[in-house]
Amino acid sequence: MDTLQKIPAHVAIIMDGNGRWALERGLPRLSGHKAGTENLREVIEACAEFGIKYLTIYAFSTENWNRPDEEIQGLMRIFRTMLDRELNNLHKNGVQLRHIGQLDGIDKKLQQKVQEAIKLTQGNQTLILNVAFNYGGRDEILQAVKKIVANGENIDDLDDELFSKYLFTAGSPDPDLIIRTSGEFRISNFLIWQGAYAEWYFTPTFWPDFNKEELYQALVAYNERDRRYGKVNQAKGK
Ligand code: IPE
Ligand code: IPE
Ligand code: MG
């Protein structure tokens, strides 16, 4: 893997395709979800190696509550097991765990584990890992508006910067690169405010097969992008 010139500060991933990965193998969907946690360690460690400072992963959306109960309960169980299994390793590697979304409404035991993990890792600085769990971009914006009103903010003070402070992602810069696996080309309610100027990378690979090499390919593609933010690139004259 050659050295890359530009490393995005913040990468966000829509980890999609677990169900189809399982289906292809004649396995139940939950096997796909389980497999989709087993590659996470490699991807997180690769992010740290590449020098990425913030990684946000979409694990469970506000819309995922509409799945069959059995799948939801299975997912909760898998996340809990994963936290138990990975927490020490994450902590050892200097990963700071944060949660984005609403913790209320999820399994009490899982809530408690997430809170303990956040507390344990709060001083770590190598990589900030935002886990989007019970997360929805519209819900996040609505919650922000409610908090802004409740705090009696002066409407004249409201700008992008102040608004961003009310989002679940307060303290993280906007994502530079958003990756979606499994060949779907949609945002599915993910970081709809923060992703305004993100570069997108799509791969047909199902999430359980996504690895360090795939991440590298996404970073190579990112390096070829010309981020103009609505301006004209003077050097290229276009
Ligand atoms: C992503 O995989 C994981 C979650 C949404 C929790 P899917 O479960 O959406 O997999 P597909 O899209 O059905 O293949
Ligand atoms: C988005 O994937 C949510 C997560 C990856 C957690 P979905 O599979 O739920 O999204 P849709 O339904 O295809 O838009
Ligand atoms: Mg999906």
Is residue 16 within 6 Å of ligand 2 at its C-beta?
A: yes
Tell me, letter by letter, the H, E, C secondary structure of 62-88. HHHHHCCHHHHHHHHHHHHHHHHHHHH
Q: Is the alpha carbon torsion for 88, 89, 92, 95 positive or negative?
A: negative
**Contact indicator for 182, 23 with CB cutoff of 8 Å:** no
pLDDT at 238: 57
**Contact indicator for 163, 140 with CB cutoff of 8 Å:** no
Q: How far is the CA of 20 from the centre of ligand 1 (A)?
A: 8
Atom of ligand 2 nearest to the CA of 63: 9
**Domains of the chain: which residue ranges?**
10-223
Q: How far is the CA of 162 from the centre of ligand 3 (A)?
A: 33
Q: Is the alpha carbon torsion for 218, 222, 225, 231 positive or negative?
A: positive
Which ligand is the nearest neighbour of the Cα of 13?
A: 2
**Contact indicator for 18, 206 with CB cutoff of 8 Å:** yes
Q: How far is the CA of 72 from the centre of ligand 1 (A)?
A: 11
pLDDT at 1: 85
- The DSSP-derived string for 6-35 is ---SEEEEE---HHHHHHHTT--HHHHHHH
pLDDT at 215: 98
pLDDT along the chain (238 residues), means of 10: 94 98 98 98 98 98 98 97 97 98 92 97 98 98 98 98 98 98 98 98 98 98 97 79
Q: What is the reported pTM?
A: 0.97
Taking the CA atoms of residue 52, residue 54, residue 60 and residue 62 in that order, the dihedral angle to the nearest 10 degrees is -140
And the tokens for 193? 């405010």
Q: How many CB atoms lie within 10 A of CB 135?
A: 25
pLDDT at 233: 86
pLDDT at 151: 98
Statement: 10-223 belongs to CATH 3.40.1180.10: yes
**How far is 105 from 101, CA to CA, in rounded Å?**
11
**How far is 43 from 127, CA to CA, in rounded Å?**
12
